[in-house]
């Protein structure tokens, strides 16, 4: 399938440039019927016994401004911890970055170990103290590049479930959740299970021209706790729906499942690329935001929602829905 099949016209005016308050006042499009609702209505769309699954990852304050030994200034965005002292990072400008280049950012000493590939390098970091602790004081939370607004508080780019530091971007479908929504779930007998997937920046990179089958999917680390696996499997066995909050949860559950649709607990890495033709084994319904054209995310939506995704997106654009990270949401049952 050609990447152009997953393109559509996204006017800049449709991209949300502010964070709506309260969070649960975002709009919610019911994709199956094109009904316009409020996110606060989500609990009444679900049935007692359904299980909502969320991603607990927290965005790392990973944007640094470093100075090269030669005096040049470089923006360094840490996208992933590889192992030991080695990290993956996006550097700008990248044209003069080569292996062996050394930089400092406050108490951090950085050494470049690979040549840039689309701006991404591997670097070593040395410091007196824990890197994550130092980043909390030194780094900035990296907001999406298409977001040109401002936030009064960086916590607005964290979900209410965020606890495990490790992502380069937020699992944005859960940004709409509030205590009011969760309390309504409890009142209706709808459960919540928690897992973790570290969101990488490659998630948002546009697909290259040509066949999507040639796309090399990025790897992301995930962890499914025992409690989450048990909750999902019990819900499946009693015939209740598994409602994935966001594409990160979909990838995690489908990666950690077996042929019977049961989920295994544990940690690992996923490189799963969900494209049309894929039949989900675990996920029955999805809550998600509206995604950018020509990305792996919109390919996943096309796979799970089916050919009507274009009609749904056209309705959303015509109806003034807000797109991308701080935008509105949609809910749909996956195509069987």
Instruction: Please state, in angstroms and rounded to a whole number, the distance separating the CA atoms of residues 200 and 60.
Output: 11
CA 220 to chain CA centroid, nearest Å: 10
pLDDT digits (tens, 9 = 90+) for 203-262: 667 888 999 998 888 889 999 999 999 999 999 999 999 999 999 999 999 999 999 999
Distances from the Cα of 269 to the Cαs of 227, 235, 283, in angstroms?
Answer: 19, 24, 19
Looking at residue 200, its pLDDT comes to: 85
Looking at residue 301, its pLDDT comes to: 97
Looking at residue 219, its pLDDT comes to: 86
Q: Which of 12, 67, 18 is nearest to 327 (CA)?
A: 18
The 10 Å Cβ neighbour count of residue 308 is: 15
List all residues 6 or more positions away from 20 whose beta carbon is below 8 Å from its beta carbon.
26, 322, 326
Mean pLDDT of 59-76: 95
Tokens coding 110: 């950085």
Handedness of CA 175, 178, 181, 184 (dihedral sign): positive
Distances from the Cα of 331 to the Cαs of 141, 152, 240, 312, in angstroms?
Answer: 28, 29, 17, 11
Least confident range from 24-38, 133-147, 307-321: namely 133-147
CA 48 to chain CA centroid, nearest Å: 27
Q: What is the pTM of this model?
A: 0.95
Q: Which domains are delineated in the chain?
A: 3-59+153-333 (3.40.1780.10), 63-135 (2.40.10.240)
Instruction: Please state, in angstroms and rounded to a whole number, the distance separating the CA atoms of residues 184 and 167.
Output: 28
Instruction: Please state, in angstroms and rounded to a whole number, the distance separating the CA atoms of residues 219 and 198.
Output: 9
pLDDT digits (tens, 9 = 90+) for 104-150: 999 999 999 999 998 899 999 999 999 999 999 999 999 998 999 99
Angle at 151 between CA 171 and CA 292, to 5 degrees: 45
Tell whether the model's pLDDT for residue 296 goes beyond 90: yes
What percent of the chain lies above the pLDDT cut of 90?
A: 92
List all residues 6 or more positions away from 309 whose beta carbon is below 8 Å from its beta carbon.
298, 301, 302
Tell whether the model's pLDDT for residue 3 goes beyond 70: yes
Tell whether the model's pLDDT for residue 86 goes beyond 90: yes
Mean pLDDT of 303-320: 97
Looking at residue 204, its pLDDT comes to: 63
Looking at residue 203, its pLDDT comes to: 66
Mean pLDDT of the chain: 95
Mean pLDDT of 53-57: 98
Main-chain dihedrals φ then ψ at residue 126, nearest 5 degrees? -120, 140
Looking at residue 26, its pLDDT comes to: 98
The 10 Å Cβ neighbour count of residue 205 is: 16
């Amino acid at each position: 399938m050609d990447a152009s099949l997953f393109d559509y016209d996204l006017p800049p005016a449709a991209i949300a440039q502010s964070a709506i308050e309260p969070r649960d006042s975002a709009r919610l499009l019911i994709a199956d019927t094109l009904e316009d609702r409020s996110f606060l209505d989500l609990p009444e769309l679900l049935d007692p016994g359904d299980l909502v699954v969320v991603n607990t990852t927290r965005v790392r304050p990973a944007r640094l401004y470093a100075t090269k030994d030669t005096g040049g200034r470089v923006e360094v965005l840490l996208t992933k911890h590889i192992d030991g002292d080695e990290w993956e990072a996006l550097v700008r400008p990248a044209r003069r970055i080569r292996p062996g280049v050394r930089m400092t950012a406050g108490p951090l000493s950085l050494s470049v170990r690979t040549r840039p590939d689309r701006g991404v390098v591997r670097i070593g970091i040395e410091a007196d103290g824990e890197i994550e602790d130092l980043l909390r004081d030194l780094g900035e939370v990296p907001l999406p590049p298409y977001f040109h607004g401002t936030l009064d508080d960086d916590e607005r780019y964290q979900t209410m479930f965020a606890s495990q530091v490790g992502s380069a971007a937020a699992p944005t479908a859960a940004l709409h959740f509030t205590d009011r929504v969760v309390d309504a779930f409890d009142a209706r007998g709808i459960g919540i299970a928690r897992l973790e997937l570290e969101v990488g920046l490659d998630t948002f990179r546009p697909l290259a021209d040509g066949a999507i089958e040639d796309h090399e999917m990025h790897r992301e680390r995930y962890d499914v706790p025992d409690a989450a696996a048990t909750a999902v499997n019990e819900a499946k066995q009693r015939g209740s729906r598994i409602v994935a909050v966001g594409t990160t949860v979909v990838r995690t559950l489908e990666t950690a499942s077996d042929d019977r649709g049961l989920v295994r607990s544990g940690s690992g890495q996923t490189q799963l690329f969900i494209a049309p033709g894929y039949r989900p084994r675990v996920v029955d319904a999805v809550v998600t935001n509206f995604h950018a054209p020509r990305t792996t995310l919109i390919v996943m939506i096309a796979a799970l929602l089916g050919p009507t995704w274009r009609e749904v997106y056209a309705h959303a654009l015509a109806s003034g829905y807000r797109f991308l990270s701080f935008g509105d949401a949609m809910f749909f049952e996956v195509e069987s």
